Amino acid sequence: MQIKISTVTDIAALIRATRKASHMRIDDLAATAGLSKQFVSDVEMAKPTVQLARVLQLMNELGVHVYIDVPAEAKDQIAKQREHVEMRSHHREATAQRRRLERTQPDSRTGI
H-run or E-run covering 16: helix 8-21
Position 33 scores a pLDDT of 95
Report the C-alpha dihedral over residues 66, 70, 9, 4, rounded to 10 degrees: -80
pTM: 0.70
> What's the CA gap between 33 and 60, in Å, rounded?
9
Report, as ranges of residue numbers, the positions in the chain whose pLDDT lies below 50: none
Predicted local confidence at residue 68, as pLDDT? 87
What pLDDT score does 106 carry?
72
Q: What is the pLDDT of residue 18?
A: 95
Contact by Cβ (8 Å): 77, 45? no
